[in-house]
A and B are shown apart, each in its own frame.
Chain A
Amino acid sequence: MGLTYQSTGTLTTREAFNVPASDNQPVIALAGNPNTGKSTVFNALTGLRQHTGNWPGKTVLQTKGTFIHNGRKYTLVDLPGTYSLLANSIDEQVARDFICFAQPEATIVVVDATCLERNLNLALQVIEITNRVVLCVNLMDEARRKQLRIEINGLSKALGIPVVATAARSKEGLPELLDITCKVVSKQLEPNPKAVRYSPEVEEAISRLEPQIKALFGNSINPRWVALRLLDGDMNLIKNLKKYHHRERIKAAREAFA
């Protein structure tokens, strides 16, 4: 019995993203708006000295590092800072394709505590793709200086995902972030994000598309999310669906006959 499509699926896609295809080294992605301190969180967790800087496109080439927590090795991928996963810049495509096709075991969405409102747009888009999300409310030191109080528990309840307050510069909250993220990876903790509901017309269209998408792609990609993108007329996603899934099928077929 060769390797099946099911058993090779995510692994081959990961190779396309240059992330080691190994079962025992889970992959964690770091997503977030620009200037929320993603790279600072990345450096603090991996102990790397990746360059931090404040200009657009600094992290277009995604950087990766590793860290060890409780005896297990994890790969951490720093995605480019974006406001959205839906528009069309290269950064957004990189971030979107990674979360969607490489399917990290967990995604940490880093948000700026001092302007949560504008940051939550991205968080909501990420939880539409995957339920394995941890929200990292960073820059808590800045928020305190501005006398902002953030109700972490309330936020967690409203979104249905774990939320951790951090100040990455001074390493505040990072041990907890690691703990919770690793629990999401090991499925000790299964976030149950509150899906955004759309108008009845849109929901009706989604329910008609979903089964067909499921038939095509199985569980390798979130069918509700693909349905939404199709309704959005997102040609780019269609192109990439072809690219990544075609690649997987070829590889699976090759391995089956090897």
Chain B
Amino acid sequence: MAGSTTLNDVPVGSRALVTGVKADGLTRRRLLDLGLVPGTRVEVVRRSPVGDPIAFNIRGAVIALRHEESSKVTVTSI
């Protein structure tokens, strides 16, 4: 069931629901602008060879986020 975690911990191929963004200022703004607002479904598309960055499908666009960004997004599994 719904475990609360951050986006960087979601395994490749699975989906999660955004619950919040634990950042402020510009980083927060940036993540929100990319579409990571509470209630957004995100799919983990692939992980780069070294594990960072990770590509996510966010509202119809594939966007790669670094660990320092994806770890700020709290999600629950769906």
Q: Please report A residues at the B interface, Cβ cutoff 8 Å.
A: 83-84, 86-88, 114-115, 117-118, 121, 233
Contact = CB atoms under 8 A, between A and B. Distances in A.
A114 B34 CA distance: 16
Contacts of B34: 83
Nearest to B60: A115
Interface string B29-51: 11001110000000000000000
B26 A118 contact: no
B60 A87 contact: no
A234 to B, nearest CB: 9
4 closest Cβ pairs, A-B complex: A115-B60, A84-B33, A118-B59, A87-B30
B58 interface: yes
Nearest to B33: A84
B29 A87 contact: yes
Contact of B29 (A84, A114, A117): A84
Interface residues of B, number: 11
B61 A115 contact: yes
A89 to B, nearest CB: 9
B31 to A, nearest CB: 9
A91 B56 CA distance: 22
Contacts of A87: 26, 29-30, 33
B33 A117 contact: no
Nearest to A85: B33
B26 A117 contact: no
A10 B35 CA distance: 34
B60 A117 contact: yes
Contacts of A118: 35, 58-61
Contacts of B61: 115, 118
Given A117-B60, A121-B33, 8 more contacts: A83-B33, A84-B29, A87-B33, A115-B59, A118-B35, A118-B60, A121-B35, A233-B25
A61 to B, nearest CB: 23
A67 to B, nearest CB: 30
